[in-house]
Amino acid sequence: MYTCICAGVTEPEVRACIRSGADTVERIGDSCLAGTGCGTCVEQLETLLEEHAEDGVLGEAQPSGV
């Protein structure tokens, strides 16, 4: 499924950009062009950034070896 129709970018591609260090919508756009066209996907990009941040916090809270 496409997250950004204008740039033809899928959700897995956006998630890969975020994992690679894109921590703002602007940096996602720099990395894969998502969010640089009409802007319709910006809210979804922000949601994906929030989910990634939450996953990181949850991941840090878990003890090692689990």
Residue 39, domain CATH? 1.10.10.1100
How far is 38 from 52, CA to CA, in rounded Å? 24
For residue 47, the enclosing domain spans 2-60
Contact between 7 and 34 under an 8 Å Cβ cutoff? The reply is yes
Name the residue with higher pLDDT: 62 or 38: 38
Rg of the chain over Cα atoms, rounded to whole angstroms, equals 13
Whether residue 55 is contained in a domain is answered as yes
Contact between 48 and 10 under an 8 Å Cβ cutoff? The reply is no
Non-local (6+) Cβ contacts of 12 within 8 A are none
pTM of this prediction?
A: 0.83
Whether residue 16 is contained in a domain is answered as yes
Whether residue 65 is contained in a domain is answered as no
How far is 50 from 38, CA to CA, in rounded Å? 21
Task: Name the domain count of the chain.
Answer: 1
Whether residue 66 is contained in a domain is answered as no
pLDDT digits (tens, 9 = 90+) for 21-42: 999 999 999 999 999 999 999 9
